[in-house]
Amino acid sequence: MKIVDLEKEYEQSYFNCLEDWSSEIKEGHPHKENWYNIEKHRGLRVKLAKDEEGQLIGMIQYIPIENSFINGKDLYVVLCIWVHGHKEGVGNQQGKGTGKALLSAAEKDVRDLVAKGLVVWGLAIPAFMKASWFHKQGYKKVDRMGIQVLLWKQFSPDAEQPAWFRPKKKPGKVKGSVEITIFQNGWCPVRNMASNRIKRAAAEFGNIVKVTEYNTSDRETFLEWGISDGIFINGKEVRTGPPPSYEKLKKIVGKYVRKI
């Protein structure tokens, strides 16, 4: 296994989360590419894992905390670590130490950048980005919001502890219409897929369904709401992970339409 920096030749695979075989993941590709073209000038770091044959099998991406959905300073935040885990493509590569190698490479890089620590987030349930896995790698829990756990590894004694940004407000509803509000940062193709699908579903119902979008990679917009990614219908949040199908989202929107 070899850990390398993201280079031009790997960008398209990176935008697809190394799942070039998947037509679904490509739904979120354009938003990820647009996000990348902005964030690569604002401190985004990406490292990739390659196997002995030169195939991409894993990735890690991390950004300065000041540009993230975490409150803090002089730290970096890991947006995600992903080791290819599907039968398709290069096959399941998990359980071979690739995640540890990627995280270790990121830690060294962040130390070299003279940042004061590395922040990660994980889920308190046995799913993607498990908080328990990060705890085993020496990360300390510092905050929690629902099932999302915030952890960090401190590199400097004067580092300030990070914390979740909490939502400052939520979208409302308007009598006589169905209001869909989309918050989209762009960094995650899977979340981008859900946003694209609900927009397509909303269009099926005509003008009675109104869609408002917020680009939360714009810092002022994010700080106004305190929401990085999410979909709301009449003020109620829709679960987007795993990404619901177009048919499921259309069915959900239809239920709201019938209540009018």
CATH number for the domain including 233? 3.40.30.10
CB 227 within 8 A of CB 235: no
Which of 164, 195, 222 is a domain's end point? 164
Count of the separate structural domains present in the chain: 2
Give residue-wise pLDDT tens across range 43-96.
999 999 999 999 999 999 999 999 999 999 999 999 999 999 999 999 999 999
62: which strand partners? 45, 78
Give residue-wise pLDDT tens across range 162-206.
999 999 999 999 999 999 999 999 999 999 999 999 999 999 999
Over range 13-30, report the average pLDDT.
93
Report the candidate in 109, 111, 84 with the shortest Cα–Cα distance to residue 99. Answer: 84
Over range 111-123, report the average pLDDT.
97
141 and 85 together in one domain: yes
78, containing H or E segment: strand 76-83
CB 99 within 8 A of CB 136: no
DSSP H helical ranges for 73-138 = 98-112, 131-136
Contacts (Cβ under 8 Å, ≥6 apart) of 76: 45, 62, 63, 64, 65, 106, 110, 113, 115, 117, 118, 119
**185 lies in which domain range?**
178-258
85 and 55 together in one domain: yes
- pTM (2 decimals)? 0.93
CB 197 within 8 A of CB 245: yes
Amino acid letter at 10? Y
Which of 120, 137, 164 is a domain's end point? 164
Over range 126-135, report the average pLDDT.
93
Which of 138, 164, 190 is a domain's end point? 164
Give residue-wise pLDDT tens across range 216-255.
999 999 999 999 999 999 999 999 888 899 999 999 999 9
pLDDT at residue 128, rounded to an integer: 86
CB 166 within 8 A of CB 226: yes
